[in-house]
Structure 1
Amino acid sequence: MPFSNKYHITIVGAGIMDLTTACTLLKEYPFDDNFYLTIISEQFSPDTTDDISAGYWELYGFASIDKRILRWAGYSYDIFLSEFFSTKTAQAGLMKMSAYTLRGYHEQNKHRNNHKPQFSTLVNHFRMLNQHEIEMFNHLKPTSDFVMSTFAIEVRYYLRELQLEV
């Protein structure tokens, strides 16, 4: 039996991660006779649990971040950045915003919070806050802070736009 370069990919689910994966695959591998993509789901938008959620891009919750996670995070950020500058940003419910992140409330973990996060090179407009800016949050007693450009997403609108692409 001769080797075939046909790819049959099935994505189970129609939430934000599933449809984003489908759109990414379709952009990376143009549709032809050798590439088949199937999405299987009990529910599609507007009837998914994702339809009642919101998204916010920030890399958090990792004790350490390896190069693979950074690459994925950068890829996700770049997707939202290109979507933001597209003609469909308003219909997709995508908003670019400045995010202030305060760390070490009431001086907790003071020794761990004074460094730049590893993802700082991935995002636009990242900078550590100066002392004057930190003092604006004195009531919280943060030990360090930063600001960056990030994205918020109204998922029900974003899913609708992703479904149009697949």
Structure 2
Amino acid sequence: MDLTTACTLLKEYPFDDNFYLTIISEQFSPDTTDDISAGYWELYGFESIDKRILRWAGYSYDIFLSEFFSTKTAQAGLMKMSAYTLHGYHEQNKHRNNHKPQFSTLVNHFRMLNQHEIEMFNHLKPTSDFVMSTFAIEVRYYLRELQLEV
């Protein structure tokens, strides 16, 4: 179980006197590889996406969204940003890249780019693109904030 899961459980059962949570780890921050990683939310790398994966992806997006609007955003190294995703570099995979991704309903401000916007990236010759709001996380700060919650 990771810290995000532990914090989620604590939020789900805040007043349950019978609920105890202990995190056991060989090492804690700052002595883990997570401390040098960075997080970026986008659903990718799946051949097929089922309802279960979409539910998990939406759940994690909602966690980052609520964290972004909390008072600990700056301390947690959480940034909300617009992400432009380009497909079909130099028209590769042209037949596969002009659809709206399944996760488009999970994120804020999702839209396909119009032809004028695509032309701004003409040097890359993309076949389709979209923009959405997503999150980048500086993990060493985020882990530190999560540890304060447990």
- Common fold by TM > 0.5: yes
1:38 is displaced (CA, Å) by 1.5
Q: C-alpha distance in 2, partners of 1:106/1:140? A: 6
Q: C-alpha distance in 2, partners of 1:106/1:45? A: 42
1:64 is displaced (CA, Å) by 1.1
CA offset digits 1:47-106 (Å, max 9, x no partner): 111000000000000111000000000000000001001111000000000000000111
CA offset digits 1:116-142 (Å, max 9, x no partner): 000000000000000011011111111
1:34 is displaced (CA, Å) by 2.0
Q: Which residue matches 2:149?
A: 165
State which drifts further: 32-41 or 87-96: 32-41
1:31 is displaced (CA, Å) by 5.3
SS state of the match for residue 72, structure 1?
Answer: helix
1:36 is displaced (CA, Å) by 2.1
State which drifts further: 66-75 or 23-32: 23-32
Structure 1 residue ranges, 4+ long, deviating more than 3 angstroms after superposition: none
Question: TM-score w.r.t. structure 1 length?
Answer: 0.88
1:29 is displaced (CA, Å) by 1.7
1:37 is displaced (CA, Å) by 1.4
**Cα-Cα RMSD:** 1.0
Ranked by relative contact order (alpha carbons within 8 Å, sequence separation 6 or more), the top structure is 2
SS state of the match for residue 23, structure 2?
Answer: strand
| Greater helix fraction, Structure 1 or Structure 2 | 2
| Count of aligned positions | 150
1:114 is displaced (CA, Å) by 0.4
Q: C-alpha distance in 2, partners of 1:31/1:21? A: 17
